């Protein structure tokens, strides 16, 4: 008899499995239909022996010391600060937009105050700010919008920024200094031995049984269990009763090249050229040294594995219909990016899963993580 069956062994499922087993001594069966754990964060050594991310680059970043401390029980870290270059007007320029972006694109040599003034002079004021187009025009104006954001967004989402919630493009800040970090978060790092290895440590417990390559529906017919934790797409759970919730998909083209370095930066974005959005070279992320190098191209698609909930009002309304069905199933708990239809980063999914565990057992987050500090070894290994 299992206390919990968990559908999905990504961040959401693995965190719940780990806390339920270690803190509450619950018997857990975690099932994934893919042949591996770690969900979209899955990484592995490719044929050349290079650590690659099967489902595109995953960079861990968070402002939550709680989430960082929690994951640090299961991994050491490789210190890595993510930077991204965008190929615009035949130049490689920093994104988020900063002083150097304006210098490279327009030959403008500005100080921070002058940059603020410049942006105010080119911005198109929008009131209220509802869409992603509003957000960008409001802060940097039309030319930078066209150069850096419009084409990329149309490729990535199959929609114009004017059709997407403001939250999508609000993810990208604008900086009036030389800071070229992609994320401003306190903690930015990569699991030293990779995500899959970290998940292995999370799930390595006598109370946890892992079944891979299997749909949870095939398992629950034959096992006895008390409650279900579901981390797959919520519309699929309810047999698309209200119709399909739109998710954006991607196709990944992985290549290995017989050179030590393919490009000068880990990620190069292509807002206005090519069918792909970006190219990632993994060794820059992981710090691995190797005489060859592996890269991945990302081609956005409408059909295929669901990767991104699409933030726009009509989708939120459809999700709310499914959410109200979910609230009528007290023995099933919905958590994670697909099951709660939220455009969450990894750390947000970890936090959401920890909150669920605390709620299910009537403890607060501090009590849930009480044994975190005693057993954790938190240290950053310099690259
Ligand atoms: P998932 O990782 O999708 O896991 C859900 C699992 O459930 C899947 O493995 C699936 O196979 C399984 N499942 C579904 N249905 C069933 C079923 N019926 N039976 C059994 N199993 C089932 N976040 C960051 O913080 N930083 C990044 O740099 C970053 N980069 C990203 C890049 C890309 C290309 C993508 C797509 C996402 C990125 N993310 C990033 C987001 C990150 O991937 C997610 O926040 C996180 O992986 C979500 O975890 P999850 O457990 O909710 O979902
Ligand atoms: N974006 C863009 N140009 C870029 C990078 C991002 O227009 O060079 C937009 C695009 O719509 C993207 C969104 O900003 O989906 C959020 O980018 P982020 O890097 O946060 O997306 P992620 O890859 O993490 O989902």
Nearest CA to ligand 1 atom 6: 8
Locate the DSSP E strands across 267-334.
Answer: 267-269, 278-281, 293-301, 308-309, 332-334
The set of residues, in sequence order, having a beta carbon less than 8 Å from that of 275 and lying 6+ positions away, is 155, 299
**Would you say the CB of residue 188 lies under 6 angstroms from ligand 1?**
no
Mean pLDDT of all residues belonging to the chain? 96
Statement: residue 376 has pLDDT above 90: no
CATH architecture of the domain covering 2-42+193-245+309-370 = 3-Layer(aba) Sandwich (3.40)
**Would you say the CB of residue 269 lies under 6 angstroms from ligand 2?**
yes
**Inter-residue contact 50 to 27 (CB < 8 Å):** no
Instruction: Using the mean position of ligand 1's atoms as its centre, give its distance from the Cα of residue 337 in Å.
Output: 7
Statement: residue 378 has pLDDT above 60: no
Rg (CA), the chain: 22
Instruction: Report residue 372's pLDDT band, with 50, 70 and 90 as the boundaries.
Output: low
Higher local confidence (pLDDT), 380 or 45: 45
Tell me what the mean pLDDT of segment 183-198 comes to.
98
Tell me what the mean pLDDT of segment 254-271 comes to.
98
Closest ligand (CA of 236)? 1
Instruction: Report residue 192's pLDDT band, with 50, 70 and 90 as the boundaries.
Output: very high
Instruction: Tell me the percentage of the chain whose pLDDT exceeds 90.
Output: 96
**Inter-residue contact 252 to 40 (CB < 8 Å):** no
* pLDDT, tens digit (0-9, with 9 covering 90-100), for 50-61: 999 999 999 999
Nearest CA to ligand 2 atom 11: 153
**Would you say the CB of residue 231 lies under 6 angstroms from ligand 1?**
yes
Instruction: Report residue 382's pLDDT band, with 50, 70 and 90 as the boundaries.
Output: very low
How far apart are alpha carbons 323 and 234 in whole angstroms?
Answer: 8
Q: Which pLDDT does position 366 carry in this prediction?
A: 87
**Would you say the CB of residue 98 lies under 6 angstroms from ligand 1?**
no
Instruction: From the CA of 95, give the closest atom in ligand 2.
Output: 8
Instruction: Return the best residue to mutate from 40, 215, 266 for the ligand 1 pocket (most ligand atoms within 8 A of CB).
Output: 40
Torsion of CA 89, 91, 92, 93, to 10 degrees: -60
Cis peptide before 96 (omega within 30 of 0): yes
* pLDDT, tens digit (0-9, with 9 covering 90-100), for 248-257: 999 999 999 9
Instruction: Using the mean position of ligand 2's atoms as its centre, give its distance from the Cα of residue 95 in Å.
Output: 10
Cα distances (angstroms) measured from residue 180 to each of 58, 101, 110, 291: 18, 9, 16, 28
Q: Is 217 exposed, middle or buried (0-12, 13-18, 19+ CB in 10 A)?
A: exposed
Instruction: Using the mean position of ligand 1's atoms as its centre, give its distance from the Cα of residue 352 in Å.
Output: 14
**Would you say the CB of residue 31 lies under 6 angstroms from ligand 1?**
yes
Domain ranges of the chain: 2-42+193-245+309-370, 84-170
Closest ligand (CA of 38)? 1
Q: Which pLDDT does position 370 carry in this prediction?
A: 80
Residue 61 main-chain phi, psi, to 5 deg: -150, 140
Instruction: Using the mean position of ligand 1's atoms as its centre, give its distance from the Cα of residue 306 in Å.
Output: 9
Instruction: Using the mean position of ligand 2's atoms as its centre, give its distance from the Cα of residue 269 in Å.
Output: 9
How far apart are alpha carbons 92 and 303 in whole angstroms?
Answer: 31
Statement: residue 297 has pLDDT above 50: yes
* pLDDT, tens digit (0-9, with 9 covering 90-100), for 339-362: 999 999 999 999 999 999 999 999
What's the pTM value of the predicted model, to 2 decimals?
A: 0.97
* pLDDT, tens digit (0-9, with 9 covering 90-100), for 16-51: 999 999 999 999 999 999 999 999 999 999 999 999
Instruction: From the CA of 347, give the closest atom in ligand 1.
Output: 25
Instruction: Report residue 371's pLDDT band, with 50, 70 and 90 as the boundaries.
Output: low
Tell me what the mean pLDDT of segment 214-223 comes to.
96
Tell me what the mean pLDDT of segment 87-96 comes to.
98
**Would you say the CB of residue 169 lies under 6 angstroms from ligand 2?**
yes
How far apart are alpha carbons 284 and 265 in whole angstroms?
Answer: 7
How far apart are alpha carbons 273 and 18 in whole angstroms?
Answer: 43
Statement: residue 199 has pLDDT above 70: yes
**Would you say the CB of residue 358 lies under 6 angstroms from ligand 2?**
no
């Amino acid at each position: 008899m299992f206390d919990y069956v968990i559908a999905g062994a990504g961040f959401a499922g693995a965190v719940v499995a780990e806390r339920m087993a270690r803190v509450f001594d619950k018997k857990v069966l975690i099932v994934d239909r893919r042949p591996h754990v770690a969900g979209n964060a899955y990484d592995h050594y490719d044929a050349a022996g290079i650590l690659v991310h099967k489902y595109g680059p995953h960079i861990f970043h968070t402002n939550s010391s709680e989430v960082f401390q929690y994951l640090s029980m299961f991994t050491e870290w490789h210190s890595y600060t993510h930077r991204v270059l965008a190929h615009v007007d035949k130049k490689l320029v920093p994104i988020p937009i900063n002083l150097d972006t304006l210098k490279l694109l327009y030959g403008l040599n500005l100080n921070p105050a002058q940059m603020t003034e410049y942006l105010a002079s080119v911005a198109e004021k929008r009131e209220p700010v509802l869409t992603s187009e509003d957000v960008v025009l409001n802060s940097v104006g039309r030319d930078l919008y066209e150069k850096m954001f419009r084409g990329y967004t149309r490729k990535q989402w199959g929609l114009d920024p004017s059709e997407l919630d403001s939250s999508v493009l609000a993810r990208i800040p604008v900086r009036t200094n030389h800071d070229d970090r992609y994320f401003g978060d306190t903690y930015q790092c990569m699991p030293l031995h990779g995500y899959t290895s970290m998940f292995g440590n999370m799930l390595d417990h006598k109370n946890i049984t892992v079944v891979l390559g299997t749909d949870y529906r095939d398992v629950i017919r034959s096992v006895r269990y008390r409650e279900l934790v579901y981390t797959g797409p919520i519309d699929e759970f309810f047999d698309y009763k209200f119709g399909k919730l739109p998710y954006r998909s991607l196709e990944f083209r992985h290549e290995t090249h017989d050179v030590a370095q393919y490009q000068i930066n880990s990620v190069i974005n292509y807002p206005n050229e090519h069918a792909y959005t970006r190219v990632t070279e993994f060794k820059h992320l992981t710090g691995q040294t190797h005489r060859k190098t592996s890269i991945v191209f990302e081609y956005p698609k409408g059909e295929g594995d669901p990767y991104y909930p699409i933030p726009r009002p009509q989708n939120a309304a459809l999700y709310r219909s499914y959410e109200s069905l979910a609230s009528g199933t007290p023995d099933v708990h919905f958590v994670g990016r697909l099951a709660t239809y939220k455009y969450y980063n990894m750390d947000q999914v970890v936090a959401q899963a920890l909150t669920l565990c605390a709620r299910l057992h009537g403890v607060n987050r501090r009590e849930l993580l009480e044994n975190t500090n005693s057993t954790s070894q938190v240290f950053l290994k310099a690259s």
